[in-house]
Structure 1
């Protein structure tokens, strides 16, 4: 049973990461995974008008982070320890990016998540990511 729902996660992001919280919309209810949406703005684009790699990486990273917090509660100091990212195709111009994230492992110390990023309305993934997080010890 998730500890934090989509509204809780959005409030946490707004309070602890206000500099980026407006970039992300949590679309799906947490259940050992999450769906997060990014509506690309001009600042997310690279020359040529496509969404930049760092923007897609950030979407995957935030998605796994929020999926973990949905399960364990607001642990601001959970951190990425490992990441693998595959860029597969150019995102559709002007389309929102949707990150489907699922947790593969949620342990006491480490969590592993897998993400597929798609352009809205297109089933073909634009990127795939696998991330590992370190979870701070409970006090």
Structure 2
């Protein structure tokens, strides 16, 4: 028992390691917060504080981590990246006109390596081949585009 009193920091480190490994199985971010509390207890033991102080510091740190850090981590992990599927991922991309586009006739553009039928978003605009356009909307198999002004024009 005398060894444990002199090496309480090692006991706290062991508890933190066990909790950290258990977190790898549970993946709910509770045990890792308790492990951080155990690390705080280890630091307190290393500076020579009484066992009661070590337990209070470890418990306080664990509760603080559970209340303050865990909710934001869980929210960030569950949110994930924005996922755009289908034609919505093409909106906002630039394309090159391959066939004249007017308000009266549908033309063609080269978009993401494919040829798409295209109409002008503003029906009063005529877009010539070779022009760069931006896709504003996709309805069915037709991309509605608007010309992109080049620098120097």
Q: TM-score under structure 1 normalisation?
A: 0.31
Q: Which has the higher contact order (CA 8 A, sep 6+)?
A: 1
Q: TM-score under structure 2 normalisation?
A: 0.28
Which protein has the bigger helix share?
A: 2
